[in-house]
Every structure is written in C-alpha cells, then in structure tokens.
Structure 1
Amino acid sequence: MKFTMRKALGVAAAVTALTVALPSPAMASDSYHVMNTGDAFGGGIFDYSGEAYFTEHGDIVKICDTDADGYAVKMWVNLDEPHGPNLYTFTRGGEGNCATHRASDGGAYNLPENKYIGFLFCRYKDGHESECAGYRFYNDH
C-alpha cells in the first residue's frame, strides 16, 4: 500500500480533530478546585506548607502536608463561608502525607448540594493555626 501525502494529511487531520474533541483535565470540569495554605516559606512563592483539593463530584476533599517544617496542615470544611458553621475538620502532618474524605464516607462528609462550601486551610502546630487561607466554592455537582 502506497502512503501518499493526501493520506498523511487525512491522518493528521483525524488526530487533530480527536485531540480537540477530547477534554483536557483542566477542561474536564469546573468542579475541581486547588487550595493552598496561606504561606510560601522555604524557597519561593509556590512553596506552601500544604495543598488541598476539592472535587464537587463525590464531595472529595484531600489535604496534603507538603513541607518538612514541623507543622501539620488543618482543614475546616464549613457551610457558606470559610468561617461559617463547621461541617468537619481534619489534620495531616509529615511532609508527603495526605488525608481524604468523600461523600461515600457518609455523615458530614456528604456535603450539601447547591450550597456554598467554605474552606479554611492552615498550618497547624500545638493546637494553634497560622498562615490560613480561605476559599469558597459553590457545590452544584
């Protein structure tokens, strides 16, 4: 079978059409949110003590301690605002350690739909929080 320029262009066009039609992870959903603690210590603007993720589909909230700084990270998951009525809290310490809660865990982890959910994400040590950042997302999935 002879491979011609016309066939090559047809294959290239098909690959391009498929690539454009498939959603990228960033386009896949508006329901995936990234959060960070309110600090940036140790070497740059993006060197936070913690990262967190909220996925509306399944009400998945994941927190990770990303810095060996002697602090844990703590997340308050609240109704309406970062300082609103508390639904639940959780903490994780030790660089590289993460914790996750999701709707399938039941109870408070099944977040209300069509409501704003507030997140307060902080460094945490000896019962005290510091360098907090607040977030608010509409949970409509």
Structure 2
Amino acid sequence: MKLRGTLLAAGAITATATAVLATTGAAAATTYTPPGGWDHTWSTPDHSATVYVEEHGDVIKLCDTKANGNSAQVLVFQHGWRKAWWTAKGNGTCVMHRASEGDPYDLDEVETKLYFHGAETEADTIRSFSNDH
C-alpha cells in the first residue's frame, strides 16, 4: 500500500509539473522578443495580421491582430515551394516557430517569401527577405 501511495503522489507531481511547463512554454512563445528586436515586422493593409521575423534562429511569429471572425495565416516559401504554414486562431493570439523545432521550420539560407493574411476575403500580403543568418 505504501508503494501505491508513493507512485500516485509521484504521478500527481509529474502531471502538475508537465502542466506548468506546457503553460509556461506557450506563454513564452507568444511573448518572445529577440534581443535587439525583430529583424522584420510586417502587417496586412487592414492590420488583421502581423508577422515578425528574426533571421538568426529562423524565428517567425504570426499574430492575429483584428477581431474579424477570421484566423491569420502565414505561408513560408523557399526555392519556389511552400516550406511551411501555420495559423493564429483568434484576435490577440500568436503562433511562433523556430529552427530548433526542425523541419519544416529550419529554413535554408536563401530568399524567403512570406504570404500572409488575416481575413479570408483579403488578398495575401507578400514580403520577402534574404535569410542569411
């Protein structure tokens, strides 16, 4: 019985620690700002989506910045092909990916194009940068 109680307590501690780490990781991802600021920051014409880029570490953050009932989306193109894409669902939400997550977020050191929007009826905003870090 003593062993069972110890195992249950250990399981509860592990579950609590996992929940705390998961919550902290999500919050850190959306509030992260690189030292010295972002290399690039772009918004859609109607300010429904904003994209932030830090070339060192291939960090790209997408934020949905307008309460319009739509999700913001970004598509990342390299070598003429779609390399990655993701969605920020809901006003005030951000999603960020970086090279340390591996493929497809580990970008090549080439010209990179971002196609992004914050409303389904809006044409994509297209921005490019030379990923040379």
Determine if the TM-score, normalized by the shorter chain, exceeds 0.5: yes
Deviation at 1:35, TM superposition (A): 1.4
Report if the CA contact (8 A) 1:65-1:94 is conserved.
yes
Aligned to 2:69: 70
**2:100 aligns to what SS in structure 1?**
helix
CA deviations 1:75-127 (Å, max 9, x no partner) are 000015xxx310000011211100000000001100001x10000011244xx
Amino acid at match of 2:111: Y
* Aligned-partner Cα distance in 2 for 1:130–1:91: 15
| 1:122 and 2:117 aligned | yes
| 1:101 and 2:97 aligned | yes
* Aligned-partner Cα distance in 2 for 1:67–1:122: 11
Q: Choose which of 122, 127, 135 in structure 1 pairs with 2:127.
A: 135
Greater C-alpha radius of gyration:
1
What pairs up with 1:1-141 in 2 under 5 angstroms? 28=36, 32-37=39-44, 39-40=45-46, 48-80=47-79, 84-113=80-109, 115-125=110-120, 130-141=122-133
Q: Where do 5+ consecutive residues of structure 2 fail to align?
A: 1-35
Report if the CA contact (8 A) 2:66-2:118 is conserved.
no
* Aligned-partner Cα distance in 1 for 2:41–2:93: 17
TM-score, length of structure 2 as denominator length:
0.68
| Structure 1 moving runs of 4+ over 4 Å | none
* Aligned-partner Cα distance in 1 for 2:123–2:55: 25
* Aligned-partner Cα distance in 1 for 2:68–2:123: 13
Aligned to 2:21: none
Task: Name whichever structure is richer in strand by fraction.
Answer: 1
Could you say if the C-alpha distance between residues 135 and 75 of structure 1 is closer, same or farther in structure 2, counting changes exceeding 3 Å?
same
Q: How many residues align?
A: 98
Deviation at 1:130, TM superposition (A): 2.5
Report if the CA contact (8 A) 2:51-2:60 is conserved.
yes
Task: Name whichever structure is richer in helix by fraction.
Answer: 2
